[in-house]
Structure formats: C-alpha cells, structure tokens
Chains A and B, each alone.
Chain A
Amino acid sequence: MSRQITFGKAINEAIETSMELDPHMICYGLGADDPKGVFGTTLGLAGKFGPRVFDMPTSENGMTGVAIGAALNGVRSVVTHQRLDFFLLAMDQLVNNAAKWSYMFGGQRSVPITIRLILGRGWGQGPTHSQNLQSWFAHVPGLKVVMPTTAADAKGLLMSAIFDPNPVVFLEHRWLHEMSGEVPAGDFRLPLERAQIMNAGEDVTIVSMSYMSVEALHAIDTLKSNGISPELIDLKSVNPIDWNTILTSVKKTGRLLVCDTSNETLSVAGEIVARVSMELFGDLKCAPRRLALPDVPSPTSHALTKTYYQRAEHIVESVGQMMGREIDAMPMIAARTNPHDVPGQWFKGPF
C-alpha cells in the first residue's frame, strides 16, 4: 500500500529510526530543537530523544570537530546546517580531519559523521544563502557526497549515510522538502553510490542531480510528446559517481546532457562530460553538453534570477539542438502557474 510522505518528513524519519537503532547517536545543529525544526526535518526529535538532540553554539567549524571527536569515541552524529553557506567555516575540520582521518592514520579508525547541508535557489536568497558547492566536497578524497532527489531517496540515503563508517556530506535542496513520494516505513536504506535511471530511453542521456532532476522530469514530458526518447539518470551521489550507469547509458544513446545545480566551470557536470568524452569519444553522435549556472554569484532580485537559473525549457532546448530538432517549449511554459523563484504555490517565504 502506498505510503506518501514529504521529502522533509522522510529526513525526519531517517534520523528518528537511526536514533532508535543506535542508542548513542546524537543529532545537533543550530535550531535542531527549535519550534521550526530546520524546515520540519528535526521536529519532535528532541521530545523523543531528549539530550541526544540539541542546539549548539554558532560555531560551525568547532562543532564539526566535536562531531569528529565524538565519532572517534564511538558516538555517531548527524549535524545539520540550515544553509550550506554557513558551513564554509567548517571546511578545515571536514577536509583536514574528517576526510583524512582514515588515510593519514593508516586505516585505523574512520569518522562516521553525517553533515546535512541545505542548498537554495530563488526567493532572494542571493549570493551567500544559495550556493551549490557540491563540487568542492566531491573533489576531496575520503568524503562521500550525496544529493537525493526523491522522498524515498532522502530517507534511504540518509539512513545509509548515518550508518556508513565514513564522513558523508548530505546535500538537501530546499525546493525538495515539500515534495511527496512513496517512502517505506522503518529501517530503510539505499546504497550511497548508485545512480538511478528515472526514465529509460534511447536517444539522449540526461544526467542530473537533486532539484535539477525535477526540472528534467518536466522536460522529458515535452521531449516525449515531441517523439524524442530521453534516458534520465538521477545521480543521487556525486562522490563516488556511478560511472557504470552513466557510461552504459551514453554508449547506448550516443548523446549526453548533464544538468547541474551549481556554477558551470569546474562543476560535477564538467567532470562527467570530461570522463564520458575520454572513454566514449568514438560512440558520441554529437558534442556532450552541460547545463549549469553562469559563473557569477547568485543574484538576489526577483528580476535578476529570471535568467540566472536553468529550467525545464533549457533542457528541452538543449536536447533539441543535440538532436537537430527545434522543439516548442511554449506549451510547457504556458502551463506553469508558479512564479519562477519559488518551488511551488505553497512557498510564501521568508526562507
């Protein structure tokens, strides 16, 4: 029987179930026990688990190191930050300690911590509240970097992240929290390193991640109605990348479009285009493409974000060009009722 919950509730369930399974696990972050509960994702946990769920000083770097030390002494943690941007202060602890502890001490001990970071888009979040820096994390050996799209993945991947013996950066897109999907109850885990084919097709491989997979799902409806058969791969993990799934697909389709939520240059999309070009050069029917943000900081004004973000119509247009076809995206655009800078009518701000 179908059990529909939101992506945010799935996160909440993953933490709750994990804390039931591991009596020493802790969960903290600024506002982890406040009335809003980090977009609802930590609501009710403090009431159920008492001091194992707690608020913290505004000390992102120090508290990341604390999580590392707790892990070395047998206590797993989920640490939550309401914006990825706030966490940049903690790159030292994450990169110099968490990512390298296993390696630099010859594999004696690893650091099972999960860092939840929330990515943004639109609603005036601007330059320092909506950065999508997944490629920073994915560049560091020793870190696993997860970007779920669906509610089921949110739960299944977060539980796997928590029980993985390594540090995992878990990137949640703010625009996904209210999206619903079927999610199994109880202990539900999905492999961290496997991409998922969301739509099987023959003509073109679209690889996307996180919220861009939602735009891609809209795009493939239009592509299909125009007689194009796209294969959509939702990455789910950007380190490690599931190369097998990607290469198998591109070998079949001969065309690759990668959609990234981040700035274009040196992006995850760039890495995928590079690797596919190197390994499948002879199989490609046209040059691979990537769709990502321009190489400027995120603007704030409603007016400035209109042309900044990539949407379904850009995917449609790109695929059309790769196929040598002109596809009319206007019906899709005309059918849209949401303003461009919010995830849905439900979103009224403020953050």
Chain B
Amino acid sequence: MNIELRFESFVDSSAASIAALPESRLRDLLYSMKRLRFVEESIAAKYSEQKMRCPVHLSTGQETVSSAAGLALRKSDLAVSGHRAHGHYIGKGGSVERMLAEIYGKVTGCSRGKGGSMHLIDESVGFMGSTAIVGGTIPVGVGLGLAMQVKAQSAGAIPGQIACVFLGDGAVEEGAFYEAANFAAVRKLPILFLCENNLYSVYSPLKPRQPEGRRIADMVRALGIPSEAGDGNDAATTLLKIDQAVSRIRAGQGPQFLEFFAYRWREHCGPNFDNNIGYRSEAEYEFWRAREPVARLEQNLLERGIVTEAWLDEADRLIEEETAQAFAFAETSAFPEANDAFTDVCFAADHQWVQPEGMNEARRFETSYVAPQISEVALDSANVPNSVGVTAPPIVGTTSPTSLGGSL
C-alpha cells in the first residue's frame, strides 16, 4: 500500500499544534467537524428514502480541511469548490437548511432547486459557488482574487481579503489548474489553494494518474507557489498550517498551496460503503479509519481537559437538534413551480449589479464559521435554548472563553 509510506512520512505533530492553538478555537474546530460529520452521515442514512433525488458526494472522513478553513477564513473572504463541496460550504458558514433543501430539490434551496448537491452557493458568507466539473472553479477562484487586486485601490476594497479555492488530487491533473495556478503566481494574487488528496479520482487511484514519488505540493512549488503538504487527519496541525498560509497571503506574499491527505469513507458518489467492489481494499480503509480525524481530535481534547464529556454530550445534542430542524425545513419546504425551469437563463439587460453580500464591510472581520457556545449553564436542560446556534450562553468549564467572532 503505497499510500502508507506517504502517510507515515508525516510526523505526528498534533500535540504541539494543540498546545499552540487557543482552546476556544480547538473547541470550535471540533464542533465544526462533528457537525459536518453528523450532517453527512444523516444524508447517508436518509438517502434511501428517495427524497434526495440527485447525486451526493459525501465528505465523511474528510472533515478537517473544511472545518479548519472555515475557522481560518473571514466571512468576507471568498471561496469556490467542486463536486464534493458539502464540507467546504458548511465550513465556510453556509446555511445547512438551505443546502439540504437544495438536495431535496426545494425552492428554499440555496440554488432554488436548480443546482442540487453539486451546485451550492451562499454569498452571504462568501461561498461563491461549487460546480460539478473537476477543476472548473479553480480559474474562477483565481478570478475572484484578480478582482480583489484590480479593486485594491478603490473605496470598496476590503483590506487583507483573499480567495480560497478548494480542490482535490484529480483537479491538479486538469489543465485548468495549471493555467490558473500559473496566472495566480504571475500576478501574485491573494489565493489560497486547499487541495484534499483523497487518493482517488472516482475509482482511479493515483498510480495511473500521477508519477510515483512526485508529490502534488512539490509540483506546485515548482510552478512558483509556496506549497506544503500535511496530514489531513491531524486537525489541529491542519488549522495551524492554514492559519499560517492565510497570514502570508494577507501580508501580500501572493498565492499559497496546501495539500492535505484525507480519506473518503463512503463511495465516490452516494450513501454507501464500497470497499467490496474491488478498487480499494478493506485493509486500506481500516488503515485510514484508525487515523480518522474527528475521534482523534476529540480524544486529544478530552485528554487535555479542553473539552469534557459533558461538553461533548451537549455538542452532540445541539448538532442533532440543528440537523433535525434543517431536515425538517428541507422536507416541509415547497418544490419550485414547474415554470421555474424556464427562468434565470439570462439576466435582464437593465439588471442592477450588486456586490456579493460577503463583501459587506460590516462583516469583514467575522470568521466564516461561527460555532455556537456550549456552556455549563446550557447543560442544565431547563436553560437550553431552542434556537440552536443562535442564542448562546457563555462558556464551557475551562479557562478561555468560547469564541464567537473568531480570533482573527
């Protein structure tokens, strides 16, 4: 198993990374990852009901990069993604209920039922769109950054704003990646490339796709973009690396590329496990499961007293409640009218052009993902707020306060 060699060449630096991060951010990171895991697994569990009638590419097992990026980016930073985008969208702060409604084909969906799972958008948090063509949004993300550079001197410019491009190991094989990365390097654009290397393009392993021994990060470094690879199952280290890359971009150092190894548990597309069909082995799957990021971070934080069992229980409860409400919203929402199939092809010529909401000045220093606070007060069931994640009493039983607005 070639990948084991790649993987084991990483030193486990989670202890040092955890020590280097504020406890509140670590809790936010864990909460975000648990939330994403639960949403995805709920989709998998309910998919057979045949109410979600579109392809779904689930992120289970790959939560780290989505959640860490959501914490490292500001709401005013802009992001794009590809077909496996649930995590990136939710991590960036996208509405879960509108995502689920979209998957259910409802008019309340984030794309009003015209996009489905593969076309997610929530401009109010700077998630500018995900599309279903491998590599297709990479140049689009670079263009978002070019516009930031063009507008840098104008009144509406947002200081330090960056664009984040989520991509996978398959996308770096596309010409669009080379073309966009090259231009980002030429123009020193404020772009963060976040590559999740999950080792497969659908069922095709890396071996027939990329030369053995050549790391994606090394190749990209040769294009003139500072690049680093890391263990995407080590959530704390992943967050630190993304934080550092974001700081360099905000400081004007141009594009940065990060590659993280991650593993998708379920089939490429759909709700099932597929280790039985022969393109990957049970042993390989178990190898990665043993290193899985959510339980690993949870265990690390428990051992250090950064979270308690009570905190975890309350987090689970909040997440379950929020997810149940989001599914209920999706299921009870109306379908679009049949005539809606014929609208939105073009904008009227006199359409007034407005800036994306994510660029609103008032939002500029908010972190993309805002975790709800979980407090000891909330552990008393009498005081638990019904509107999960909206009202939030203060603080878990550790010293640092839970962050609401992010630490950047």
Contact = CB atoms under 8 A, between A and B. Distances in A.
Interface of A: 23-24, 26, 52, 56-57, 59, 61-75, 89, 92-93, 96-97, 101-110, 112, 141-142, 144, 160, 164-166, 192
B114 A104 contact: yes
B258 interface: no
B136 A104 contact: no
Interface string B324-367: 00000000000000000001111111010101100100000000
Given A66-B183, A73-B147, A73-B148, A106 B139 contact: no
B347 A93 contact: no
Contacts of A52: 150
B121 interface: yes
B347 A102 contact: yes
A104 B183 contact: no
A72 B176 contact: no
Given A65-B138, A72-B140, A102 B346 contact: yes
16 contacts: A57-B186, A62-B180, A65-B137, A65-B138, A65-B140, A66-B139, A70-B150, A73-B144, A102-B344, A104-B114, A104-B119, A106-B109, A106-B113, A107-B343, A109-B123, A165-B349
A72 B144 contact: yes
Contacts of B112: 106-107
A70 B179 contact: no
B147 A69 contact: yes
Nearest to A60: B179
Contacts of A74: 147, 151, 156, 353, 355-356, 359
B194 interface: no
Contacts of B113: 106
Contacts of B344: 102-103, 106-107
B119 A70 contact: no
A101 B129 contact: yes
A56 B183 contact: yes
Contacts, number: 174
Contacts of B349: 160, 164-165, 192
Contacts of A57: 179, 182-183, 186
A61 B111 contact: no
Nearest to B351: A165
A104 B346 contact: no
Contacts of B121: 105, 108
Nearest to A68: B140
Interface in B91-133: 109-115, 119, 121, 123, 128-129, 131, 133
Contacts of B141: 69
A23 B147 CA distance: 12
Interface in B215-249: none
Nearest to B78: A73
Interface residues of B, number: 54
B139 A61 contact: yes
Given A65-B179, A93-B140, 14 more contacts: A59-B178, A61-B176, A62-B142, A62-B175, A63-B139, A66-B183, A69-B139, A70-B150, A71-B147, A72-B129, A74-B147, A92-B176, A101-B129, A107-B343
B145 interface: yes
A38 to B, nearest CB: 19
B144 A93 contact: no
Interface string B155-192: 01000000100000000000110111011001000000
Given A63-B183, A93-B136, A72 B128 contact: yes
B146 interface: yes
B2 interface: no
B386 interface: no
Nearest to A193: B349
B381 interface: no
Contact of A65 (B115, B142, B154, B348): B142
B143 interface: yes
Nearest to A62: B179
A152 B131 CA distance: 39
Contacts of A101: 129
B74 to A, nearest CB: 15
A33 B115 CA distance: 39
Nearest to B115: A104
A64 B143 CA distance: 9
Given A24-B150, A96-B131, A165-B351, A69 B136 contact: no
A72 B356 contact: yes
A181 to B, nearest CB: 24
